[in-house]
Amino acid sequence: MKYVLDFDDTLYDAKRFKQQVAADGTAHLLFTPEIWQLYDVQDYLHTDTVDWLASKQQEDLFILTAAMTSDGKVVMAYQQEKLRCSKLGAVVFEIIFSAGEKGVETAEIASRFPPSEPIIFIDDKIEQCLSVKATVPQAHCFLMVRDPSVIGEAETVRSIDVVHSLADVDAKIREL
């Protein structure tokens, strides 16, 4: 089983980080690599991230992160420095940076393995899940919604399973 994982708002609490940056008055450094001289990325990983990653085999883990802001600005150097500082490169097989939809990169990852190898894709953006579903139809896609109040009791969004934690992913996989 291969896991293709988003970073921001899936493994890392980007919302909490941005709130802290605003409170500290350092917003002028947001989306610059220099901001990581002031903050420790590991302080903003979701509480389940490190242990969950450690429970998997390194060769089964891929981080596929979009190096774009919500308004479409490409911030590759910022994202690369953030992932370097996260130190997660030591526990995953590969970190891949994307500037668009993640379906193409996920299809490339899937092509490295036999078609029988399950591909698990986890992202907090429904558009990315749908992109992966379109290019890797056999992939099991999960929409990460860390705050359940955002969507209420919905178990799926546009036919994509909703999860609220990495443990939820494991539970849903056991049901497959």
Q: Per-residue confidence at 35, pLDDT binned at 50, 70, 90?
A: very high
Hey, where are the domains in the chain?
A: 2-175
- Other residues' Cβ atoms within 10 Å of the Cβ of residue 101: 17
Q: Tokens 């494991």 appear where?
A: 170
HEC string for the chain: CEEEECCECCCECHHHHHHHHHHHCCHHHCCCHHHHHCCCHHHHECCCHHHHHHCCCHHHEEEEEECECCCCCECHHHHHHHHHHHCHHHCCCEEEEECCCCHHHHHHHHHCCCCCCCEEEEECCHHHHHHHHHHCCCCEEEEECCCHHHCCCCCEECCEEEECCHHHHHHHHHHC
pTM summary value? 0.96
Contact predicate 124/165, CB 8 Å:
no
Instruction: For 151-176, write each residue's pLDDT tens digit.
Output: 888 899 999 999 999 999 999 999 98
Tell me what pLDDT residue 70 has: 77
For domain 2-175, which CATH number applies: 3.50.50.60, 3.40.50.1000, 2.40.50.140, 3.40.366.10? 3.40.50.1000
Share of the chain above pLDDT 70, in %: 100
Contact predicate 139/110, CB 8 Å:
yes
Contact predicate 13/45, CB 8 Å:
yes
Q: Per-residue confidence at 79, pLDDT binned at 50, 70, 90?
A: very high
Contact predicate 42/11, CB 8 Å:
no
Instruction: For 106-129, write each residue's pLDDT tens digit.
Output: 999 999 999 999 999 999 999 999
Tell me what pLDDT residue 69 has: 80
Tell me what pLDDT residue 99 has: 87
